[in-house]
Amino acid sequence: MRSRLTALLGALLTLSLGIPQAARAESVVDRVGRTGQLKVLVMNDDLPYVTAQGNGYAGLAMEFVAEIQNELSQALNKPVQLAPQPMQSVDQGLASIAASTADIACGVAFGWGTAMVVDYSLPFALSGVRLITPPGNDGTPAALAGQTIGVVKNSLAAVTLAAEVPKARLVPFDNPQAALGALNSGQIKFLAGDSLWLKANSNSAAGSNPLVPAVPYSRASVACIVPENNSGILNLSNLAIARLMQGYINNDPKALSRINRWVGPGSRVNLSQDAIKGYFTNVLLSAALLTTP
């Protein structure tokens, strides 16, 4: 697994460094200003972050994308349209951002390797690696030894379990949709992934068992990624993300509704508003300006 990730990182670095300078000269903000479109990477069945809905996409990540769209429109003083670009795998998405053929992707867990080839925005969620397992399995390394576990290829869960549970057999799937399909069809009985993703999809997942272990294998912030060395789009994205989080902290009804729909009380994730506010407050206190209502 480590060798495959090293190869992926090397390929992405080669790709990003090998782009002709003329092609790299136009910034994301310049391109959006010229075309009027923000090219957003999306992946279906990645709730609570992104899911296909009607002719477009919705989810927690798309709420923040909408804020970034609005921030760009104000900065450019012209309408900006979203241009969703469906991706079929994590590899494809990272390569598109690294090569600047896509402008932004939101709902991406932080990884040091990924940070070598793209830039991360302020985080807007915190997740960890856990599993859906058959009843009676507590998800500890000893309980997972010898088991076959589904993971999304090159995801944080795949990297983490390869290191923490070396005696398990990992079956990689290109995208969340394929991984959930394999679980629901009985092809696999164990599925590891982002805690929020597993919880948001547990109602449709086979067995609907509690997530294990009680303490996640690892934790990671979830944010947006943009091509490297694009301070314009990164700054506007950070401002937009902070603005929506601040609205939630300040009990703005619209902000509360938009966030709660995906991860708040009554949603599949069902986090308390206090827990969400606590996380948003910590992010703003550590990286931005927090104002009182």
Q: How far apart are CA 293 and CA 282, in angstroms?
A: 16
Structural tokens at position 45: 């069945």
Q: Would you kindly state where each structural domain of the chain is located, as residue ranges?
A: 2-126+220-287, 128-219
Q: DSSP letters of 17-59?
A: HTS-HHHHSS-HHHHHHHHSEEEEEE-TTBTTTBEEETTEEES
Homologous superfamily (CATH) for 128-219? Periplasmic binding protein-like II (3.40.190.10)
- The matching CATH number, chosen from 3.40.190.10, 2.40.50.140, 3.30.420.40, 3.40.1280.10, for 2-126+220-287 is 3.40.190.10
The model's pLDDT over 17-72, given as tens digits with 9 standing for 90+, comes to 444 444 456 999 999 999 999 999 998 888 999 999 988 999 999 999 999 999 99
pTM reported for the whole predicted model: 0.85
The model's pLDDT over 180-221, given as tens digits with 9 standing for 90+, comes to 999 999 999 999 999 999 999 876 555 556 799 989 999 999
Name 236's Cβ contacts closer than 8 Å, sequence gap at least 6: 29, 68, 71, 72, 75
Tell me whether strands 169-173 and 148-152 are parallel, antiparallel or unpaired. parallel
Same fold, 2-126+220-287 and 128-219: yes
